[in-house]
């Protein structure tokens, strides 16, 4: 049996290929920068997967782009899936294989975090170091959440919108700075922004966020077309395309989650 995982900062999607049948599982995101080995083991133990029957594990993960972190992940996964060939790849390769299979191109992720890379049909090379939610993640759910909270805490939002946020300032600051996963907390506000995306102030914050993403992450690398995956790219596809078009950048495909296309990729090329 072949097991495939795609782990973002918020969620990990699993697909189990057993001949023609495909089973699905889901758990929290297993980003090694954010969750430790103990949490990874604990989370895996709660999955109803036939661990000893897995012969191949293809694990694609956010935070697995560096050798150090992918080594840690490899060791943890190998100890749990002791009978399997374990392969750990970056989440960027998941995006590339799901969007382009074996064709060359530029791909990006806009989810809880963000990233952009060049895909050569087999390997994927990020244009720059992924800086995470404190320093980077332009255009991501984190970045959208940051903009909304800054506007709210800075008294720049209309009363009707504040009522919809339904939180007070002390609660937000407390949650943000005591939350185990501040990146997920920030990104949770992207849903609220999606529901209120026609409100002029929210529309403006969304536009600023994607414009910043284009200016910081695409223009300096002379990117003229790309394909995207991730929940933010998918749900805000109209706004993402609008920001890209404004700078003459073509968005070719947008996929919400790579996992289905990834499962097909491994079925086709196993």
Q: Which helix (H) or strand (E) holds 252?
A: strand 250-255
CB 258 within 8 A of CB 60: yes
CB 5 within 8 A of CB 25: no
CA distance 208 to 216: 12
Closest C-alpha among 129, 152, 255 to residue 202: 152
- Between 48 and 159, name the residue whose CB sits nearer to its own copies: 159
CA distance 3 to 207: 39
CB of 10 to its own copies, least distance (A): 15
CA distance 90 to 124: 9
CB of 159 to its own copies, least distance (A): 17
- Between 13 and 138, name the residue whose CB sits nearer to its own copies: 138
- Between 154 and 200, name the residue whose CB sits nearer to its own copies: 154
CB of 105 to its own copies, least distance (A): 23
- Between 36 and 122, name the residue whose CB sits nearer to its own copies: 36
CB of 81 to its own copies, least distance (A): 25
CB of 215 to its own copies, least distance (A): 13
How many beta carbons lie within 10 A of that of residue 160, not counting itself?
10
The residues near 76 (Cβ < 8 Å, ≥ 6 apart) are 37, 40, 41
Residues lying near its own copies in the complex (CB under 8 A) are found at 33-34, 66-69, 128-129, 131-136, 146, 149-150, 153-155, 169-170, 173-174, 176-178, 182, 186
- Between 135 and 268, name the residue whose CB sits nearer to its own copies: 135
């Amino acid at each position: 049996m072949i097991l495939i995982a795609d782990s973002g900062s918020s969620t990990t999607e699993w697909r189990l290929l057993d001949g023609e049948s495909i089973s699905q599982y889901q758990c929290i995101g297993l980003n090694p920068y954010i969750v430790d080995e103990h949490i990874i083991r604990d989370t895996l133990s709660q999955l109803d997967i036939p661990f000893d029957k897995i012969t191949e594990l293809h694990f694609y993960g956010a935070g697995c782009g560096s050798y150090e972190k992918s080594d840690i992940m490899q060791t943890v996964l190998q100890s749990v899936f002791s009978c399997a060939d374990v392969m750990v790849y970056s989440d960027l390769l998941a995006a590339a294989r799901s969007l382009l299979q074996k064709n060359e191109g530029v791909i990006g992720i806009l989810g809880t975090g963000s990233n952009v890379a060049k895909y050569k049909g087999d390997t994927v090379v990020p244009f720059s170091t992924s800086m995470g939610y404190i320093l980077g993640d332009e255009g991501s759910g984190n970045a959208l959440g940051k903009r909304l909270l800054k506007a709210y805490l800075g008294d720049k939002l209309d009363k009707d919108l504040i009522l919809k946020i339904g939180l007070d300032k002390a609660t937000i600051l407390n949650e943000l700075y005591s939350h185990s996963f501040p990146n997920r907390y920030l990104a949770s506000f992207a849903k609220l922004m999606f529901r209120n995306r026609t409100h002029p102030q929210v529309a403006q914050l969304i536009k600023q966020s994607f414009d910043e993403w284009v200016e910081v992450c695409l223009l300096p690398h002379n990117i003229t077309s790309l394909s995207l995956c991730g929940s933010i790219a998918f749900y805000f596809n109209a706004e993402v395309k609008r920001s890209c078009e404004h700078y003459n950048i073509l968005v070719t495909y947008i996929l919400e989650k790579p996992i289905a296309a990834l499962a097909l990729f491994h079925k086709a090329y196993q």
